[in-house]
Amino acid sequence: MSVTREQVLDTLSRVMSPRGIALPEANVLSAISASDGKVFFSINVDAAEARAWENVRAQAEAAVRAIPGVTTAMVALTAERKPGSATPPPVPQPHRHGGGVQPAASHRPPQGGENPMSKQAEIPGIAAVIAVASGKGGVGKSTTAINLALGLRDQGLRVGLLDADIYGPSVPRLTGIHDKPQLNAERKMIPISRFGLSIMSIGFLVEEDTAMIWRGPMVMSAITQMLRDVAWGSLDVLVVDMPPGTGDAQLTLAQNVPLKGAVIISTPQDLSLIDARRGLAMFRKVNVPVLGIVENMSYFQCPHCGTRSDIFGHGGARHEAEKLGVPFLGEIPLHMSIRSTSDAGTPVVDSEPDGPHAAIYRAIGAKVREQLQGVIAAA
């Protein structure tokens, strides 16, 4: 039985807004996405009112989840400062245990000299959250993120993967997962277990075309919920596949999630290195240690004869890393089997564990692990 927007609106008409009128009448709802039992929408209010709406967000989400046929409901509260408003925008607050209520997120950095990093909160049970980032899309960031996660798994670590690439979640394709996360007794989403990883993706919750139209504050709110309203359990490392680029959303994410490090993926082309440099500068600005640069599609390896061709003038990322004083983590060839295994939902480290590509990703995993050793041991 599929759930319709009308059913959702009907249910929401029984949720009162702080303005004393029913939620659908309050002129704060975004378009409602309801397909396949998955419901997503946001409540958009002025920043000055955000606190008063926190409870309404939670009530709306609970009410929608209770509709028969709804498997996933996600309601984001987004706050925007009206032009000319004197109130500064709120910054995301640390998570409140158990309540599942997320304050509004804003994509603007806080003003007035406040230290943005002071708003960070650890995720209980997770020793290290690390970001996999790239300056632009299409460089193989997600492919590297999942294979790095598997490389870390092969180091004997307990690893989770969060696909926070809200603009184009690719983890459903890379893993072949099409299940929807179930809720536990505390109404937290249970990540999907596959390949020995705990996996969560925004793509499990919303359709790709819905994800495309999200604005900065909604993105932040959704990512915060995926981090904190998910029953991750005990993990040594949570690998976050970040959205590409260095916009406000990425900066705010870095300011609100206590990242223990960032891995930057680049291709050898100069342009991509320029983008990668921007990414590096962004992480440095928010004091996130850069664990290193990976050069993806570093050289072409013929699937038939194994001959290597440096068609992109390989080596740029290694030199750049040296120049910038960050570790160089490794070179991954452009190879048919990396592409075909990625696109078949059987990542190469898992499906060809004895092959040369798995060895490369494992070596990168080992270098990352080495740098996180202190954090993991302390946890």
Residues that bind ligand ADP (CB under 6 A): 134, 137-143, 170, 296-297, 332, 334-335, 338-339, 342-343
Cα 252 to Cα 54, 86, 216, 217, 268: the distances in Å are: 20, 21, 10, 10, 28
**Which residue spans within 92-202 are E strands per DSSP?**
126-134, 159-163, 192-194, 197-201
CB of 174 to ligand ADP, least distance (A): 7
CB of 252 to ligand ADP, least distance (A): 20
- Cβ-based burial of 372 (10 A; exposed 0-12, middle 13-18, buried ≥19): buried
For 271, the enclosing helix (H) or strand (E) is helix 270-285
CB of 22 to ligand ADP, least distance (A): 41
The answer to whether 164 and 293 have CB atoms below 8 angstroms apart is no
CB of 329 to ligand ADP, least distance (A): 14
Query: Cβ closer to ligand ADP: 32 or 159?
Result: 159
Max CA pair span of the chain = 72
Cross-strand partners of 129: 238, 259
Query: Cβ closer to ligand ADP: 59 or 272?
Result: 272
Query: Cβ closer to ligand ADP: 22 or 359?
Result: 359
Query: Cβ closer to ligand ADP: 124 or 353?
Result: 353
CB of 231 to ligand ADP, least distance (A): 26
CB of 328 to ligand ADP, least distance (A): 16
Angle of helix 248-256 relative to helix 270-285, nearest 10 degrees, comes to: 40
CB of 115 to ligand ADP, least distance (A): 31
Distance of alpha carbon 250 from alpha carbon 214, whole angstroms: 14
CB of 336 to ligand ADP, least distance (A): 7
CB of 224 to ligand ADP, least distance (A): 21
Query: Cβ closer to ligand ADP: 41 or 299?
Result: 299
Query: Cβ closer to ligand ADP: 103 or 140?
Result: 140
The β-bridge relationship of strands 235-241 and 159-163 is parallel
Nearest one of 363, 262, 274, 270 to 315, comparing CA atoms: 270
Query: Cβ closer to ligand ADP: 26 or 364?
Result: 364
- Cβ-based burial of 98 (10 A; exposed 0-12, middle 13-18, buried ≥19): exposed
CA angle at 376 for the pair 371 and 379, rounded to the nearest 5°: 150
Query: Cβ closer to ligand ADP: 79 or 130?
Result: 130
Query: Cβ closer to ligand ADP: 9 or 300?
Result: 300
- Cβ-based burial of 4 (10 A; exposed 0-12, middle 13-18, buried ≥19): middle
Distance of alpha carbon 46 from alpha carbon 71, whole angstroms: 30
Q: How far apart are the first and last CA of the chain?
A: 45
CB of 351 to ligand ADP, least distance (A): 13
Query: Cβ closer to ligand ADP: 89 or 172?
Result: 172
Alpha helices in 112-207 (DSSP H): 141-153, 171-175
Q: Residue with CB nearest ligand ADP?
A: 140
Q: How many CB atoms lie within 10 A of CB 248?
A: 16
Helix (H, G, I), strand (E, B) or coil at 336: helix
